[in-house]
Amino acid sequence: MHSNDTSTVAVVGLGKIGLPLAVQYALQGWHVIGCDINEQVVETVNAGRSHVHEEPELAYEVPHLVASGMLRATQDIAEAVRQAQVVVVIVPVIIDEQHKPNFTSIDIASSSIGANLQPDTLVLYETTLPVGTTSQRLRALLERASRLKAGKDFLLAYSPERVSSGHIFRDLRTYPKVIGGIDARSTVAAETFYRSVLAAEIIPMASTDEAEFVKLIETTYRDVNIALASEYARFADMHSLDVTAAIAAANTQPYSHIHTPGVGVGGHCIPVYPYFLLAGVEEYTDTSSPFPLLHLPRSARAINDAMADYAVSRVEEIVGSLFGQSVLMLGVAYRGDVRETAFTSAKLLQEALLQRGATIYVDDPLFTHDELHQLGYTPFTSQNESHISAVMLQAAHKSYDMFDFSRLTNCGVVLDGRRALSREHQQRIVAQGMRYIFLGDGKRDENISSVSNEENEHIEYVLPGKRA
């Protein structure tokens, strides 16, 4: 399957991943019709502009591809699917308040695709899904709406997106592409398509179920790893140890890959997809067992969500009760230098601080004050500077390493929740009479932990019997 003058791929969902995928396919010679229910998104793309600002390449590529006729957008999914030889679906599946997968959007999209599906079309799902979703739920929707049979009349495969916001085109170039079809022919068709649009390695799996499992393994691993690092941080605080130095040394062993502890885990992926894994075991789980199936991922989720409360308790140990005190939270984004707030730990910190009666002010250079208000926060202004008793860094924006803490004349402590501030900035904070702390610093009296290499250089020792 190679692109030619009439080869068309429909990309269903033009969000932060869908639009970059559409651009990637168009750059490789496919005519791309992007589908989205959002009229503003469609109008923006057709005007040659990108609504996804985290990927700098889009600002150049979208207008170029739209002008050349290789990319266009529509709200009419029927038109797009009827013209396409390949349909790529990247519509989100979210979790509800009970942490159960909500398939509403992808169900609607799949039924619409099925109603307009042409024989021999390849349908590819890239949305992260619970195991068995493609082969059972989505296959049934497509077959029912189309009156065609998957594997016989059309091809069906799954290939999880594995990219990170802000680095999508880099990740598409370098990360291996995992694929799995409902049968051998579908797998080969998927492999052929992806070889036409990507230079990365292709890894075929035995089935769509196995390909779905791959994505849940890698995201759940990261959540469990971070939870382990967070447990190490609390242990370090109990025993006056520096967890950062200890983890760095441990990771010099090739089999150790411990992540960095922090105030919590946010984003569309890591705090969400473990629940997709858990959704597949409920009917097989013996709830009376002390260690039911997937006990570890379940515990990891609880540990990571509890770190915000633990961080607030560390601040209280230094400034006392937070009732009536003002706290400045730096960053509401779920990750440093990314303008997104999905499942951000800022909400967990906000909840923990409010429970203690604190007044919370928030700074984030990626959001306007109006946007912060809309997100439920009170923006920090110069009028609040003298009121701040404590600072909690939640998002590791690079600009915070230049934040002027000297303005906070009554601040007693800065908690670096992401271990993001440089040693020089830490020293400036301490020089201004504040405590600098991080999770796992050992709660030691010295504000900046670990003996420096410079201090070691002034110490000499000669082994007995050896000449200096």
Q: How far apart are CA 192 and CA 183, in angstroms?
A: 14
Alpha helices in 375-443 (DSSP H): 423-431
The predicted model gives 356-372 an average pLDDT of: 98
Q: What is the pLDDT of residue 466?
A: 72
Read off the pLDDT band of 458 (50, 70, 90): confident
Q: What is the pLDDT of residue 450?
A: 46
CA 392 to centroid of chain Cα atoms: 21
Radius of gyration of the chain (CA): 26
Residue 359 phi/psi, 5° resolution? -95, 130
Q: What is the pLDDT of residue 52?
A: 95
Would you say residue 40 has pLDDT above 80?
Answer: yes
Q: What domains are defined for the chain? A: 8-206 (3.40.50.720), 207-468 (3.40.50.720)
Q: How far apart are CA 55 and CA 24, in angstroms?
A: 12
Q: What is the pLDDT of residue 3?
A: 55
Q: How far apart are CA 233 and CA 441, in angstroms?
A: 8
C-alpha angle 326/332/335, rounded to 5°? Answer: 135
Read off the pLDDT band of 285 (50, 70, 90): low
- Find out whether 278 and 223 touch, Cβ atoms under 8 Å: no
Indicate the range of 163-167, 380-384, 385-389 predicted with least confidence: 163-167
- Shortest CA distance to 181 belongs to which of 153, 149, 215, 212? 212
Q: Which residues are catalytic?
A: 215, 269
The predicted model gives 188-193 an average pLDDT of: 98
The predicted model gives 187-211 an average pLDDT of: 98
Read off the pLDDT band of 326 (50, 70, 90): very high
Three-class secondary structure of residue 407 per DSSP: helix
Condensed to tens digits (0 to 9), the pLDDT of residues 232-265 reads 999 999 999 999 999 999 999 999 999 999 999 9
Residue 132 CB burial class (10 angstroms; 0-12, 13-18, ≥19): middle
Would you say residue 1 has pLDDT above 90?
Answer: no
Condensed to tens digits (0 to 9), the pLDDT of residues 385-441 reads 999 999 999 999 999 999 999 999 999 999 999 999 999 999 999 999 999 999 999
How far the first Cα of the chain sits from its last, in Å, is 72
Bridge partners of 169, per DSSP, are: none
Would you say residue 214 has pLDDT above 70?
Answer: yes
Token pair 């004349």: residue: 409
Condensed to tens digits (0 to 9), the pLDDT of residues 302-317 reads 999 999 999 999 999 9
Bridge partners of 32, per DSSP, are: 9, 71
Q: How far apart are CA 131 and CA 217, in angstroms?
A: 11
The predicted model gives 171-176 an average pLDDT of: 96
Using the 8-state DSSP alphabet, how is residue 268 labeled? S
Condensed to tens digits (0 to 9), the pLDDT of residues 84-111 reads 999 999 999 999 989 999 999 999 999 9
- Find out whether 420 and 355 touch, Cβ atoms under 8 Å: no
Q: How far apart are CA 222 and CA 229, in angstroms?
A: 10
C-alpha angle 201/204/207, rounded to 5°? Answer: 155
